[in-house]
Amino acid sequence: MAESVSVRCPACREQHRYAAPVFPCACGTPLALPLLPDGLPEQVRHRSWNDSWVSMRCPDCGRRDEWPQPEYGCPCGEVVRLPVDHRALTESGAPPAPPSSVVIPVVALPPSPSAPPQRPAFRPVTIRTARDALTAAAQYLKWLGFANVRVAGDRTANGIDLRGDGVVAQIDPTTQPTRLRDVETLWLNCINEDSAGAFFSLAGYAHDARLRADQLAVPLFVMDLTGTPQPVNDAADHLIRTGPKA
């Protein structure tokens, strides 16, 4: 993996460690975006698809491609964007990842005592469109152990995006923080169907939505553009620990 850096969330001021994800170039060279050492992270208030990608050149084959802007889902619920060293990209392209890095883009969840040791590393789905966000969330639920995860029918009927054996989920791919009403809608569906639930958001959650989710024990996750969900609250940590038993 790429070298980790210390990141202070501008919202809660907590200090965390972050490593830019490693992706393979078409030629097979593992690459990681260079982070600006003294850059200031910023909260993602409004997301634009065009502003969420960084152009970089492979130093081995010279191919130039678009890569996801490094982002961190803080446990406080905020999505934080990490500044990229554009001078390094302009001068020599993205530096190759250390030789020990894998070529396949496998990103493991942050170390957690709750993660089952027998579970393999999660293989994310890079998010470029709203449909990709749906696919990434479905893959994550399958990784947690839920079977028959599929896209639900007409979401206008009850707001459900994904359905599986014993689980329902909603995905918010918009550029605004998820609202209180959406969290409560998922909770009502969980009660009606006697199922576990999970909410996935790209832009984080409004403060009142986060508080209500904690009261109702609704699992909240945030996803960056690499497609790797991160747990936001205790209910999400519990779902990771128990999977289909939640």
**Chain segment 3-12, per-residue pLDDT in tens:** 677 888 888 8
Q: SS3 of 188, please? A: helix
Q: Check pLDDT > 70 for residue 91.
A: no
- More confident: 157 or 215: 215
Buried b (16+ CB within 10 A) or exposed e, 63-76: eeeebbbbbbbbbb
C-beta atoms surrounding 113 within 10 Å: 6
Measured CA to CA, the distance from residue 79 to residue 144 in angstroms comes to 22
What torsion do the CA atoms of 147, 148, 150, 155 make, to the nearest 10 degrees?
Answer: -90
Most confident segment among 27-31, 39-43, 133-137: 133-137
Q: SS3 of 22, please? A: strand
* Residue-level pLDDT at 117: 44
pLDDT in tens, 108-149: 334 444 444 467 888 888 888 888 999 999 999 999 999 999
